[in-house]
């Protein structure tokens, strides 16, 4: 894997609004937010999709959820509720091939998440 835009953010080659960093993960605000709060939490390890996870990555991916819960508490939306999403593959909407956990909060979020148009497909 040659690296995506998220590698550039990790390496501080392009700016991002970083809200958390530790030895294995980074969290920053999405450039095109779909809710008042829209964070992306990534592992520093470059893993293209969920399908590319190795057995040894299980704890690392669990760590992303731990960071989500920590930020939700710190940023004050834990009790109100939030959505976590990890898209896998193009038809699921994945556009950056470095796994990332979306964290959305700050408004009521509809469920199910698909549109009528998608239902007919």
> Which residues in this chain contact ligand 5GP in the complex, by CB under 6 A?
5, 16, 28, 30-32, 40, 87, 93-96
- CB nearer to ligand 5GP: pick between 16 and 64: 16
Name the minimum Å distance from CB 30 to ligand 5GP.
5
**Residue 28 or residue 79: which is nearer to ligand 5GP going by CB?**
28
User: Which residue out of 63, 98, 100, 102 is catalytically annotated?
Assistant: 100
Q: How far is the CB of 49 from ligand 5GP (least distance, A)?
A: 10
Count the alpha carbons within 13 Å of 59 in the hemisphere toward its beta carbon: 2
In the annotation, is 100 catalytic? yes
Give whichever of 1 and 31 is closer to ligand 5GP, judged by the CB atom: 31
Dihedral sign, Cα of residue 90, residue 93, residue 94, residue 100: negative
DSSP string, 34-95: SSSEEEEEEESS---SGGG--GGGHHHHHHHHHHHHHHHHHHT-TTT--EEE---SGGGT--
CA 65 remoteness from chain centre: 10
- As measured in angstroms, the least distance from the Cβ of 60 to ligand 5GP is 18
Q: Which residues are catalytic?
A: 100
């Amino acid at each position: 894997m040659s690296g995506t835009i998220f590698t550039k953010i990790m390496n501080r080659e392009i700016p991002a609004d970083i809200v958390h960093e530790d030895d294995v993960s980074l969290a920053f605000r999405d450039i095109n937010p779909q809710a008042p709060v829209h964070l992306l939490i990534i592992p520093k390890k470059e893993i293209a999709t969920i399908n590319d996870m190795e057995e040894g990555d299980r704890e690392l991916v669990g760590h992303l959820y731990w960071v989500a819960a920590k930020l939700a508490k710190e940023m004050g939306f834990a009790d109100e509720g939030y959505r976590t999403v990890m898209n896998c593959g193009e038809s699921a909407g994945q556009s950056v091939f470095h796994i990332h956990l979306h964290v959305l909060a700050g408004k009521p979020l509809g469920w199910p998440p698909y549109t009528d148009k998608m239902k007919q497909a």
